[in-house]
């Protein structure tokens, strides 16, 4: 990890503007894909109930409202 961070920092240190946004957005998309793929595998191990689904949506709505109010 240290070698990858050093190499990436060295190669991308002069990057700014649109090219930097492209590199960062690709990294974010790759991270989201890996996390989602891992969570989907684990999500199918537990039987889904209406309570779990309701709790998810209530939590999502609560966080959205908190963000709107702050």
Q: Which domain holds residue 50?
A: 17-69
* 2: in domain: no
Residue 40 in any domain: the answer is: yes
Residue 65 maps to a domain = yes
CB 12 within 8 A of CB 20: yes
Residue 4 lies in a domain: no
Residue with tokens 């957005």: 25
User: Would you say residue 6 lies in a domain?
Assistant: no
**pLDDT at 3 (0 to 100):** 92
Q: What is the pLDDT of residue 62?
A: 92
Q: For the chain, what is the domain count? A: 1
Q: How big is the CA angle at 25 (ends 65 and 2), to the nearest 5 degrees?
A: 110
Average pLDDT of the chain is: 82
26, part of any domain: yes
Q: Decide if 8 is inside a domain.
A: no
Residues of the chain whose pLDDT is less than 70? 42-44, 46
In a domain, 3, yes or no: no
């Amino acid at each position: 990890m240290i070698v990858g961070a050093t190499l990436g920092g060295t190669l991308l240190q002069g990057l700014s503007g649109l090219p930097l946004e492209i590199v960062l957005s690709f990294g974010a998309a790759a991270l989201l894909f890996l996390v989602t793929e891992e969570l989907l595998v684990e999500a199918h191990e537990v039987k889904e109930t209406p309570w779990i689904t309701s709790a998810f949506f209530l939590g999502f709505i609560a966080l959205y409202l908190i963000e709107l109010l702050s």
